[in-house]
A and B are shown apart, each in its own frame.
Chain A
Amino acid sequence: MDLFRVHAYAVSPSRKSDKPISPEGGEVNITAPLGRVIRENIESARFEVRTTVDFEVDPATRTNAMRDLVLAFGFEKSRSDPPVGLQLAERLSQAMDQRSAPCLFVLAAFRGGDQREVYMWVFPRDAAFRLVRGRGGPSIEVLTDVFSQTSRLRKAAQFRGGKGRADFLSGQALDFQTGYAERRVADFWVVRFLECTFSIRGEAGTRMLAQAVRAAYENAASVEDKEAVFTAAMAARRTPQRRMSLASFADRYLADPVKKTFLEAAPNKAIVTSTFDFDRQAFEAALHFRVFHLDTGVFVSSPFEEIGESVRVTEGRNRQLSCRGQIIDERLRIRHG
């Protein structure tokens, strides 16, 4: 792929502002060092393992203003007025509220045949030192107009494809703050600016999480491992986190070897780190009962919240279960289940 277009803008926040500040910048000459830095940033962003996002398209018209601009940036031949890069920078400015710091917004487009790749980055402002050696001895200069390429606050997005109806509907987003408790921060990049939604929708992602928990539980080799998975599932039911990924769940609640089994249950490797909205209701619907098989041939199926209450498990060499409650129904079955 050939890098053929780069735009850069200094962008200040102007969300809900009466006097929006127009971004400053424009098309940039592509020098060899710049091209190298852009390629390095693409590589370090590791888009292949980042969250997949879909444009929120109007189903009646199949359009989304951001998608149209991203396509235009990748495919337009002549310079538009105002430039597409500037239109995107203005949208970014309007998505940033007054608490955000000014940033550097960089757009890059690559081409290969009839395919394009469009990248967008937001690099936050940083402070840096420069050691100056002068006649009067060395001094330190503080640089305030520099932007960090490695900050955890940086954002990036990648969209690839052709110009067809089925192209540029999805992309990859890098944003380390999507799981942030404060919605204003968590939604800034993917929802407010990119006008996207997570490709793994909340209910579907939560069911996928529940399936992986179940797989880890069923494949756990020891009682301790099963208990660890159960504890993780209980913790997930109570978590205040609105968003997670299979990887973030595993890092937070599991340790090897169950962590490994849990992650292996993912439908593919790329989505392990993909973020989705956690849907507590869907999780409880998908994972609500714990079933014990006793040496007497008896099965006890218990809702999670009854374990430790009316259903008690005594740990030890021979784990014992006792259960107490009033019988309100009974049935005859050929087999358990």
Chain B
Amino acid sequence: MRGSGFATARDLARLYKSRTPLLETARTRLEQATQDALQGVPHVDRIVYRIKDRRSFVEKALDPENDPPYQHPLREIEDQLGGRVIVFFLTDLGVVRERLKGTFTEVEWSRRQPDRDEEFGYESDHLICVLPPQVKTDAWGDHVDMPTTFELQLRTVFMHAYAEPQHDLAYKAAHELPKGVRRELAWIAASAWGADHAYERVMRAYRKGSA
């Protein structure tokens, strides 16, 4: 059994790398399981899974702002395996979540949205699920401190249209974004929010008309 004891960022990166093949198999199987679970569900734009990048894993594990700090980051960091399901409409989010319960055990669900009603920003449903036994290979048991959970984000196309470029810009920015840029981003978020809700109204009217 390999332990998770690490002294430096380099040790941690090395340990993380040694598990990458196992995580990669689990990623492929999770993606397939999600596709199977959502077979026939309308309005699913795409399903993607990724393994957390090694550098970003180490940064997150050793971030001095972690309170309390991670004791076993290889097990505790829950987005080492992360998936995203992108759907057309807001009402599809609940449908997808319900369908996934036939495949994954959910342990946490939260709707990420701005705290204040008058704010616009990042929105997404975040799920934490237990890694099901069928995504693991026999070698999974050779390591201690393997992750037990994975993260799954459920978003509409418009939520995603705001979140991804915004995340990319914010990630690349060395300092806090200037006021003008933040105002522009808030405007984009508000437009995405408005588009999602407009689509809901359109869908309702369409259903009424076609009934």
Give A contacts to B, CB under 8 Å.
52, 54, 56-57, 59-60, 62, 114, 161-162, 164-167, 169-170, 197, 199-205, 207-208, 267-271, 274, 279, 282, 285-286
Contacts and interface: CB of A to CB of B under 8 A. Distances in A.
Interface in B102-144: 102-109, 127-128, 130, 132-138, 140-141
B76 A208 contact: no
B137 A201 contact: no
Nearest to A270: B133
Contact of B106 (A59, A166, A204, A208): A59
B178 to A, nearest CB: 36
B147 interface: yes
Given A60-B109, A204-B37, A199 B75 contact: no
Given A52-B133, A167-B148, A201 B76 contact: no
Interface string B64-104: 00000001100110100000000000000000000001111
Contact of A267 (B29, B39, B109): B29
B102 A202 contact: yes
B33 interface: yes
Given A165-B76, A200-B132, A268-B137, A170 B148 contact: yes
A145 B130 CA distance: 41
Contact of B105 (A114, A161, A201, A267): A201
A269 B102 CA distance: 22
Contacts, number: 97
Interface of B: 29, 33, 36-37, 39, 71-72, 75-76, 78, 101-109, 127-128, 130, 132-138, 140-141, 147-149
Given A57-B105, A59-B106, A162-B71, 9 more contacts: A164-B75, A165-B78, A166-B78, A199-B133, A201-B101, A204-B102, A267-B29, A268-B138, A279-B102
Contacts of A269: 138
B96 to A, nearest CB: 14
B76 A164 contact: yes
A233 B183 CA distance: 60
A267 B134 contact: yes
Given A167-B75, A267-B29, A59 B133 contact: no
Give the dominant DSSP class at B's interface. Answer: mixed
Nearest to A162: B72
Contacts of A279: 102
A21 to B, nearest CB: 34
A269 B139 CA distance: 10
Contacts of A202: 102
B134 A204 contact: yes
A267 B92 CA distance: 31
Given A164-B75, A166-B147, A167-B75, A59 B134 contact: no
Contacts of B78: 165-166
B76 A267 contact: no
Residue of A170, A197, A270, A279 contacting most chain B CB atoms (<10 Å) = A170
Contacts of A203: 37, 102-103
Contact of B36 (A207, A268, A270): A207
Contacts of A274: 133
A202 B108 CA distance: 20
B108 A62 contact: yes
Residue of B33, B36, B140 contacting most chain A CB atoms (<10 Å) = B36
B136 A199 contact: no
A286 B106 CA distance: 24
A273 to B, nearest CB: 11
Contact of A204 (B33, B127, B138, B147): B33
A204 B206 CA distance: 34
Nearest to A203: B102
Contact of B107 (A57, A271, A285): A57
Residue of A57, A59, A202, A279 contacting most chain B CB atoms (<10 Å) = A59
A62 B107 CA distance: 6
A226 to B, nearest CB: 24
Contacts of B141: 270
B75 A267 contact: no
